[in-house]
Amino acid sequence: MSAVLEVEGLVTGFPSADGRVPVVDDVSLGIDAGEVLALVGESGCGKSMTALSVMRLVPKPGRIEAGRIVLAGRDLRELDVLEMRRVRGHEVSMIFQEPMTSLNPVVRVGDQVVEAIRLHEDVSQAAARARTLELFGQVRIPDPEARLDAYPHQLSGGLKQRVMIAMALSTRPRLLIADEPTTALDVTIQAQILELLRELQRQSGSAILLITHDLGVVNELSDRVAVMYAGKIVEQGSRRDVLGAPRHPYTRGLLRSIPARAEPGAPLAEIPGVVPPPSEWPAGCRFATRCPVRFEPCRDQLPDATALNPGHTAWCHDAARDPEGGS
């Protein structure tokens, strides 16, 4: 299959008191058509910034400093503003974490979807509205006709997220970026939205870049997984490899801290400490300060990629000294 998106050596930085800090540091990833890639990590690890970089929507004063973002053969970084505008919402769409605030409060939700369609396709108001109605049905908004004229505050969080999904899929994009699409929702609604995303993805064949911190969601939806820590990808591979045979101590820590996997009665495993702020990232492996198996080179030397199974890679000194995975 051909790659829909290929990101190579992406660096996105923000200015700080001591120079620019790269919150996304040399990230490379690829998504094939019809594939779901989950980008996993704790909050503040740079996964949302990676997504916004792909959209070229990094909030000021941050900016993309290096790398290539190739979407269907075109490097998005080389497009001018107008060309990029035609890409956004047309070839790549995005769903955000906060459905409550992501819709314009004073515009009817139907009109907001119609706007998304008519920005990219030369269709009449009526045709766009008909399409919106159809989309509302597809994303299972009950009573779609009436909801077209509703204002955001009249819809529940789950319905708002369905509107966002309808908007994102309205122009049948090659790639859909979903940034924590279920985090702000109730658990029961989360399951419904995930189910919906999976189904729509199968129908439309869009690739999805799914950003989440919830490994349950990853397991539900993804084909491949990339684990991110402190601005860098630390492990990448198929869902089965990464979740089933994780090689980076951070991935293992994440998996161990899922409550469902814990021994009943035993204390829940946790990764000690917190993600350090960008200004305090170690020179070597970013995870060195919290790593249970760190040894000599970890503090000072950046680990290289270690190929494990085909398509399974970890950036870890420990994995490098034992590629077969004894532990």
Binding site for another protein (CB under 8 A): 55, 57, 60-61, 85-90, 93-94, 96, 98, 101-107, 115-116, 119-120, 151, 153-154, 164, 167
Half-sphere exposure of 83 (CA within 13 A, CB side): 8
Nearer to another protein, 1 or 106 (CB): 106
- Least Å distance, CB 51 to another protein, is 10
Amino acid identity of residue 42, one-letter, is E
Q: Are 140 and 162 in contact (CB under 8 A)?
A: yes
The DSSP result for 142-178, as a single string, is SSHHHHTT--GGGS-HHHHHHHHHHHHHTT--SEEEE
* Cα–Cα distance for residue pair 167/94, rounded to 1 Å: 9
Nearer to another protein, 173 or 237 (CB): 173
Nearer to another protein, 55 or 319 (CB): 55
* Cα–Cα distance for residue pair 10/28, rounded to 1 Å: 6
Return the DSSP state at 182.
T
Nearer to another protein, 112 or 212 (CB): 112
- Least Å distance, CB 32 to another protein, is 23
Nearer to another protein, 81 or 187 (CB): 81
- Least Å distance, CB 172 to another protein, is 14
The DSSP result for 277-325, as a single string, is PGGG--SS-GGGGT-TT--GGGGTSPPPEEE-STT-EEE-HHHHH-TT-
* Cα–Cα distance for residue pair 14/138, rounded to 1 Å: 40
Nearer to another protein, 100 or 127 (CB): 100
* Cα–Cα distance for residue pair 111/128, rounded to 1 Å: 9
- Least Å distance, CB 300 to another protein, is 34
- Least Å distance, CB 104 to another protein, is 4
Q: Are 58 and 64 in contact (CB under 8 A)?
A: yes
| Furthest-apart CA atoms within the chain: distance in Å | 67
- Least Å distance, CB 164 to another protein, is 7
Nearer to another protein, 106 or 266 (CB): 106
* Cα–Cα distance for residue pair 92/82, rounded to 1 Å: 15
- Least Å distance, CB 92 to another protein, is 8
